[in-house]
Amino acid sequence: MENTIADKLRIISREATFPVLMALCAVHGLNDLLQSVVSAVYPMLKEDLSLSFAQIGLITLIYQIASSVFQPLVGLAFDRRPFVWSLPMGMVFSTLGIILFAYSMNITMVLISVFLVGIGSSTLHPEASRITSLASHGRRGLAQSIFQVGGNFGTSIGPLLVALIVAPNGRHYIIWFLIVSALAFLAMRTICRWYSGYLADLKSRPASREIHRKLPLSVGRTVFVICVIMVLIFSKYIYMASLTNYYTFYLIERFGVSIKMSQIYLFVFLVATAAGTLVGGPVGDRYGRKPVIWISILGTAPFSLLMPHCGLALTVIMSFCAGFMLSSAFPAILLYAQELLPTKLGLVSGLFFGFAFGVAGVASAILGDFADAYGIKAVYDACAYMPLLGLVACLLPNLKNLPGQETI
């Protein structure tokens, strides 16, 4: 029996699709590294262009709308008509956005650049997540964790690279991140080659070999459960938005740290999210998705409630613990949703990635206005209670051993 994450990794590493999973992990990491540059440069951007917190929130809102609204549409389109070169197509948009972002001289150019970066993200996430499930050989929790930990690692390393490369030299040095784009295009070759073969094999199968899957719940209950999951994502990503987009400002204002040190502390939080993601998927494979969702979201509350009342050292520790607990939920949430609709992997991935990004974008805009009106500390005093919404996880049914009731 596969008892540990290490055991599962050894088994999956011997399978033919393991290089594809690692390439997907790398592409996700490189893509999200580029995405994280946007928020990591906020303190410099605010100073260069004399922006308010409300304008910072608007930038995030435009980015998140571009990276969220289109995701379900992309997922549904490629569910119906798979396209081998979908991932490189998305990276082209991100690359163009990064180039423009490096040389934006006003708020309008910034908004256009982050919109392009968002379009790239909205193309990559549902497609890469769907391909990950196809290449998982049944170990979907572990495969999704491998895929998502790449994104978390990229998100965490982005602010560190900004602190080392961009902060000392100026915002134009963002152009050096085109090296990241080049590496992503290179990693995509392995994925596109495998996916092309997979689609060719799929087309060659007789119609009689098609698998007809059923919904584990009735249509009405499925809709209700999806609504519950969206409430969980709402609670998770409002708190995540407060940390990802305003944590550096909070540390600078409350503790007087430098921009460089604030980026390093943000890196600590984002590393925690990567670690939590890697744990959440395999634990969900073994014990079920519902316990992971329940413990990870509600378990964040003690740390979020304590953090506004701590000194600098404890604040960093609390942020690490909160990031670890909260991020372990998303692989379980995504796979739980995919198990509700097993033949719509792209649509489900796009819907939940998109909804998560959309919530984060709207939350960032609202929190920016809130910070302008009441101060940055008030943001963390208010957001500390959001993980308590994790109580609604008690409404999720256990999908194990439930008979299918209706054919998709």
DSSP assignment of 157-180, as one string? HHHHHIIIIITTT-GGGGGGGHHH
The whole domain housing 137 covers 5-199+216-400
- Which contacts qualify for 41-48: CB closer than 8 Å, 24 or more apart? 41/101, 41/162, 41/166, 41/171, 41/174, 42/245, 42/248, 42/249, 43/248, 43/249, 43/252, 43/259, 43/262, 44/166, 44/167, 44/171, 44/259, 45/110, 45/171, 48/171
Contact by Cβ (8 Å): 122, 67: yes
The rounded distance, in Å, linking the Cα atoms of 272 and 155 is 11
Q: How far apart are CA 116 and CA 118, in angstroms?
A: 5
| pLDDT for res 170 | 82
24 confidence band (pLDDT: 50, 70, 90)? very high
pLDDT score recorded for residue 99: 93
At 7, the pLDDT band (50, 70, 90 cuts) reads low
What is the rounded distance in angstroms from the CA atom of residue 26 to the CA atom of residue 8?
Answer: 19
Condensed to tens digits (0 to 9), the pLDDT of residues 80-130 reads 788 888 899 999 999 999 999 989 889 999 999 999 998 998 888 888 888
Summary mean pLDDT of the chain: 81
What pLDDT does residue 375 have? 86
Is residue 210 situated within a structural domain?
no
Residue 211 covered by a domain? no
CB 273 within 8 A of CB 152: yes
The answer to whether residue 139 sits within a structural domain is yes
Give CA–CA dist 379/342, Å, rounded: 38
Res 403: pLDDT: 43
Check whether 393 has a pLDDT greater than 50: yes
15, exposed or middle or buried, with CB in 10 Å at 0-12, 13-18, 19+?
middle
Is residue 208 included in any domain, yes or no?
A: no
Predicted confidence band of residue 227 (pLDDT cuts 50, 70, 90): confident
For 289-330, how does the pLDDT look when each residue is reduced to its tens digit (9 = 90+)? 788 888 887 788 899 899 989 999 999 999 999 988 888 877
| pLDDT recorded at residue 402 | 46
d(CA 350, CA 329): 17
User: Roughly what angle, to the nearest 10 degrees, separates helices 329-340 and 259-287?
Assistant: 40
pLDDT of residue 15: 55
Average pLDDT over residues 239-245: 78
pLDDT tops 60 at residue 272: yes
- Structural domain includes residue 317: yes
Does a structural domain hold residue 245? yes
Please report whether residue 406 resides in a domain: no
pLDDT at 10 over 80: no
In the numeric block, the tokens 């796979």 are attached to 335
Q: pLDDT value at position 356?
A: 67
Looking at residues 205-219, what average pLDDT do you find?
61
Q: Report the domain count for the chain.
A: 1
Q: Specify the amino acid at residue 181.
A: S
Segment 16-33 shows an average pLDDT of: 87
pLDDT at 181 (0 to 100): 94
Instruction: Assign 360 a pLDDT band (cuts: 50, 70, 90).
Output: low
Of the candidates 273, 321, 64, the one whose C-alpha atom is nearest the C-alpha of residue 151 is 273
The CATH number assigned to the domain holding 157 equals 1.20.1250.20
Whether the predicted pLDDT of 188 surpasses 90:
yes
Q: Quick one: pLDDT at residue 306? A: 92
Q: Is residue 223 part of a domain?
A: yes
Least confident of 75-84, 111-120, 191-200: 75-84
Write the DSSP assignment of 287-310 as a string of letters.
H-HHHHHHHHHHTTHHHHHHGGGS
pLDDT at 58 over 90: no
Is it the case that residue 337 has pLDDT exceeding 90? Answer: no
Question: Does 1 or 38 have the greater pLDDT score?
Answer: 38
Inform me whether the pLDDT recorded for 64 exceeds 80.
no
Give the pLDDT confidence score for residue 76 in this predicted structure.
78
Q: Give the chain's radius of gyration (CA, Å).
A: 20
Coil, strand, or helix at residue 215?
A: strand
